[in-house]
Amino acid sequence: MILPACRQGDEGLPRAILEAAACGRAILTTDVPGCRDLGRDGLESWLAPPYGARAIAERICALAQDRQLLGQASVDARQRIASDFAEAHVMAQVLALYQSFAAKPA
């Protein structure tokens, strides 16, 4: 599990979250743009409000007591990366985007 330092206003998917999920780690992060984009809340990740120390602490305690849920979330995180964030998948999406731009008249 990882808690990247995401602040409101930051943009983009933090590499730490992506790498953690690729290694089969469940994600606990803040509900801000970029951080919220990888995982699906309650499946392979959990979102806490920005600056929500109490919510983060409560989720850590809950996950520590439910190893089965944490284990399944870790498996789901790895599968999500393999299916939705694999290089071939991302390249196909980028190519489709470029093709849609090229098809539109200037």
- Assign 100 a pLDDT band (cuts: 50, 70, 90): very high
* pLDDT value for 8: 52
CA distances in angstroms from 18 to 6, 92, 103, listed in the order given: 13, 19, 32
Residue 10: inside a domain, yes or no? no
The enclosing domain of 47 has a CATH number of 3.40.50.2000
Report the distance separating Cα 45 and Cα 54, nearest Å: 17
Full domain range(s) for residue 73: 15-103
Residue 2: inside a domain, yes or no? no
Residue 8: inside a domain, yes or no? no
pLDDT one-digit tens code per residue, 25-51: 999 998 888 888 888 888 999 999 988
Please give the span between the terminal C-alpha atoms of the chain, in angstroms, as a whole number.
47
pLDDT for 64 beyond 80: yes
Residue 71: inside a domain, yes or no? yes
**Cβ proximity of 17 and 80 under 8 Å:** no
Residue 42: inside a domain, yes or no? yes
pLDDT for 98 beyond 90: yes
User: Domain count of the chain?
Assistant: 1
Residue 44: inside a domain, yes or no? yes
Average pLDDT, the chain: 86
* pLDDT value for 10: 57
Report the distance separating Cα 80 and Cα 100, nearest Å: 26
